[in-house]
């Protein structure tokens, strides 16, 4: 499991792939580097910062910053496709998220799940639209990408 997290509306990414590549100690599971991503040109710095981390946290300047939400959505897509992260964790009700995601697994709508369980600036804003389209595409094409809280 590689996970992305929106804890404190930060993104946590986590992955088992990194664990399979090397022995894992608690200190090695979290990227020790900190990289400020200001634009799409910073991808090499992001790759260098995460290395084989199993968890990646993406911060934010403040809740509801549309530009930051859009950029983090792009980073989530990149890290999922390029590095195999397959869990996105949001700051949200753990039990509601678990039950809601089970409904998606049973054929429910990703969009409805997000609207019912995740803060509106993440679930309903135009800035996050590409994230939910990506999650829906992954789900419809049977690619592993779980959403949790």
- The sign of the torsion formed by the CA atoms of 76, 81, 82, 85 equals positive
| Cβ contacts of 95 within 8 Å, gap of 6 or more | none
pLDDT at 31: 46
pTM flag (> 0.95) = no
Average pLDDT over residues 52-60: 80
Determine how β-strand 87-90 pairs with β-strand 2-6.
parallel
In the 8-state DSSP scheme, what is residue 91?
S
Q: Is the pLDDT reported for residue 135 higher than 90?
A: yes
**With bands split at pLDDT 50, 70 and 90, how would you rate the model's confidence at 74?**
confident
**At how many degrees (to 10) do helices 43-50 and 66-83 cross?**
60
Strand stretches in the chain, DSSP E: 2-6, 11-15, 55-58, 87-90, 146-148
Q: Flag the least confident range among 32-41, 57-66, 71-80, 104-113.
A: 32-41
pLDDT at 12: 55
| Cβ contacts of 122 within 8 Å, gap of 6 or more | 6, 9, 69, 90, 114, 128, 131
Distance CA 43, CA 17 (A): 20
């Amino acid at each position: 499991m590689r996970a992305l997290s929106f804890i404190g509306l930060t993104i946590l990414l986590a992955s088992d792939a990194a664990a399979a590549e090397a022995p894992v100690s608690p200190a090695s599971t979290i990227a020790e580097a900190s990289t400020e991503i200001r634009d799409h040109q910073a991808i090499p710095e992001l790759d260098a910062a995460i290395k084989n981390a199993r968890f990646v946290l993406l911060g934010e300047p403040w809740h509801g910053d549309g530009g930051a939400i859009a950029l983090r959505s792009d980073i989530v897509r990149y890290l999922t496709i390029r590095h195999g992260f397959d869990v996105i964790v949001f700051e949200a009700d753990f039990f509601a998220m678990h039950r809601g995601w089970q409904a998606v697994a049973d054929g429910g709508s990703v969009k409805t799940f997000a609207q019912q369980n995740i803060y509106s600036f993440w679930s309903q804003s135009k800035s996050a639209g590409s994230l939910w389209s990506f999650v829906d595409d992954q789900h419809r094409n049977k690619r592993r990408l779980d959403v949790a809280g």
